[in-house]
Every structure is written in structure tokens, then in C-alpha cells.
Amino acid sequence: MSTVEVHLADTALVDELRKDVRDGLTSDPKWLSPKYFYDAVGSELFEQITVLPEYYPTRTERALLEEHALDIAEATESTMLIELGSGSSEKTKILLAAGVKHGSLKTYVPQDVSVTALEGAIEQLSLEFPALDVRGIVSDFTDTLSNLPDGLRRTIAFLGGTLGNLIPEEREEFLGAIAGALDSGEYLLLGVGLVIDPDVLVPAYDDAAGVTAQFNRNVLSVINSRLGGNFDVDAFEHVALWNAEQEWIEMRLRATSAQEVYLADLDLHVHFDEGEELRTEISAKFRPQGITDELAAAGFDVEHLWTDTDSRFALILARK
Ligand code: AVJ
């Protein structure tokens, strides 16, 4: 049994896009929200990133999930797994298999901004887990929590290090909203990247094959097609840098020459100086104590914090 619900009306999604893009492109410095990376092309490019030799997060998190999935099922005894930003749900299958094997898990609720990613995932899952009730939700993860489905014992999973895409204030609000949506005794399963040597970190966001550069530039194509824009995508180069003070990776797009851009749907003219940079993503990395404190401030007790042997990534099971 499987369904997909589109929770945000198209008009609400478009209004949000229009507002975000206008805000970001009229700010100094300019920025765009990373959630607009994920059209069909962007979601596919992200899947390619996850198998790059330099991009360690996905494979590291998968190994942690494989190692601890049964522990997670036993600790939570969850009947429902809700996953925020589920994408292809590829790693989640490990959790689903463990939950089904344990006997407790009945329902999986994947949520993603990408309709195509979600539909593809659900089709796969219904074949692999025919007994599981799968209810997909298309929405923005920051908007999902207000109408979370009821369940007996729920776990919310937020994997892949996506928490790092939020700036600290947004993060605090978001973790608070997750805590607010859960009853006491329910769980959050969180995957986050840890602060490591920038010589390992930066190449993960600036790979030799140039896939991340393509992924980054694709956001300009997304804006062009959704808002009637005329960004010259090839006039921008990919930049990835480690902000040591904030402890986050920043991706930017740098105009290689002066650019005049027009977004017809917003009737907005945007000028870029030669060399001007547009911030497209932050990807914060964490320290075990820091994320434990942030979770405690939101009302969670960290029951387990598992890391790989190189301490590059952490899988955290926190109880409300
Ligand atoms: C999917 C948000 C976790 O920040 O590592 C990958 C996205 N950006 N390469 C990340 C991303 C550039 C990714 N997240």
C-alpha cells in the first residue's frame, strides 16, 4: 500500500520560491536557498555526488546505519518511521529492513521537496517492502512538522547531514519544532557530518570530476526555468570553502565577468560585478558535544552517538 500526498499547494510553493529568490538576490551578499537545487536534474546530480570518491558522508553514514540498524529498532520499537528530506530513500532501506525484521515497524512516511525523487523511491519500496504502509509527503521539511501523521511510537529520521544546511538560528527553531511534534518517549534519528581536516572536507564539496560544480550551477537553471530568468549558467564558477570560524562549508557561484540578469516572473533585474559571489549553500559540520548540547536545548536526550573510526560522521539516537 503506498500513496503520495502533495501537502503544499503549487501556489504556496511558487510564492515561497518567489519570495526566497527576491530576498536572496537583492541581499548583499547575494544568496539562494539550497532547497532549490533539487529539481529532477539536481536530484540526479546529487545521487551522482553520493558515489564520488571524495564525497565520504553517504557511504560513511550507510556503514553506520548497517552497523546499528537493529540497535535502533530495539531501542525505539517504532511503529512508524518518518523521514525528513528522504530523497531516494536508498540508505533508509537498511532501517526499514531492521524495523520489519524486529516486527515493530508498520508505516514509513518519506517526505521530500522533489516529487520525482519521492515517486521513484516509493515505487522501489513497494516492491521491496510489500507489507509496509508507505505514505509519501511532498513538502519542504521545515513545513512538514505541523501536520505529522499520528502513530503509536514514532521515530523521525533526518539523515545525510542535511541539518547542516540550516543556519544556527534556523537549526534551533527546527530542532525545537521536531521536539514539539513528538511525544515524550518518541525518537529523533539524526545523521550529521563532524568537523574534520579541511583537506578531506573541501574536496568532498569540490570533486575532481566536477559533478558538485555542475550540481551547484544547476540551481541557476532551476531559477531560469521556474522564474523566467536568463542567468548565463556558464558565466559562473563553482567555489567551495571551509569557514573555520563558523565551522561550515560554503558553496558559492562566482561571476567570471559582469552579468546582467533578468527574472521576468519577478520583474527583477540583478547585476553581478565581475568576481562577485552568490552563496548557494552552507553545510555545517558538528562536534559531538556541540550537537548534544543543541539537542538538549531542544528537549532531547542523546541515548547513542555512534561515529565511524575516522570520526567523520555521527549517527545520533535522541529521545524526546
Ligand atoms: C544533502 C545537504 C547533506 O551538504 O553535504 C552535497 C548536499 N552539497 N554536495 C551536503 C551537497 C554539495 C549535502 N546534503
Question: What is the β-pairing status of strands 2-6 and 30-31?
Answer: unpaired
In the prediction, which pLDDT does 8 show? 59
Smallest Cα–Cα separation from 24: which of 12, 33, 14, 11?
33
Question: Atom 2 of ligand 1 has which residue's CA nearest to it?
Answer: 162
Mean pLDDT on 101-111: 95
Lowest mean pLDDT among 143-147, 242-246, 247-251: 143-147
In the prediction, which pLDDT does 146 show? 78
pLDDT at 13 over 80: no
Mean pLDDT on 53-73: 98
Question: What is the β-pairing status of strands 277-284 and 248-255?
Answer: antiparallel
Cell numbers for 101: 525484521
**Cβ of 112 below 6 Å from ligand 1:** no
On average, the pLDDT of the chain sits at 94
Smallest Cα–Cα separation from 136: which of 99, 96, 107?
107
List all residues 6 or more positions away from 124 whose beta carbon is below 8 Å from its beta carbon: 89
In the prediction, which pLDDT does 7 show? 65
- Ligand 1 atom with the smallest distance to the CA of 165 is 2
- Ligand 1 atom with the smallest distance to the CA of 249 is 4
- Ligand 1 atom with the smallest distance to the CA of 283 is 4
- Render pLDDT for 180-223 as a digit per residue (tens, 0 to 9): 999 999 999 999 999 999 999 999 999 999 999 999 999 999 99
**Cβ of 218 below 6 Å from ligand 1:** no
Smallest Cα–Cα separation from 5: which of 136, 147, 150?
136
Mean pLDDT on 306-312: 98
Measured in angstroms, how far is the CA atom of residue 162 from the centroid of ligand 1? 7
**Cβ of 165 below 6 Å from ligand 1:** yes
The ipTM assigned to this model is 0.98
By most ligand atoms within 8 Å of CB, the mutation choice from 37, 112, 283, 286 for ligand 1 is 283
- Render pLDDT for 254-272 as a digit per residue (tens, 0 to 9): 999 999 999 999 999 999 9
Measured in angstroms, how far is the CA atom of residue 319 from the centroid of ligand 1? 26
Question: Atom 9 of ligand 1 has which residue's CA nearest to it?
Answer: 205
In the prediction, which pLDDT does 234 show? 98
Among residues of the chain, what percentage have pLDDT more than 90? 83
In the prediction, which pLDDT does 149 show? 83
- Ligand 1 atom with the smallest distance to the CA of 215 is 12
CB-based contact 282:165 (threshold 8 Å): yes
Q: Count of H helices and E strands in the chain?
A: 10, 14
Smallest Cα–Cα separation from 246: which of 203, 216, 284?
284
Cell numbers for 309: 573510526
pLDDT at 167 over 80: yes
Question: Atom 12 of ligand 1 has which residue's CA nearest to it?
Answer: 205
In the prediction, which pLDDT does 9 show? 60
- Ligand 1 atom with the smallest distance to the CA of 46 is 6
In the prediction, which pLDDT does 142 show? 66
Provide the 3-class DSSP secondary structure of residue 7: coil
Smallest Cα–Cα separation from 216: which of 174, 189, 160, 254?
254
Mean pLDDT on 23-38: 96
Measured in angstroms, how far is the CA atom of residue 284 from the centroid of ligand 1? 10
pLDDT at 277 over 80: yes
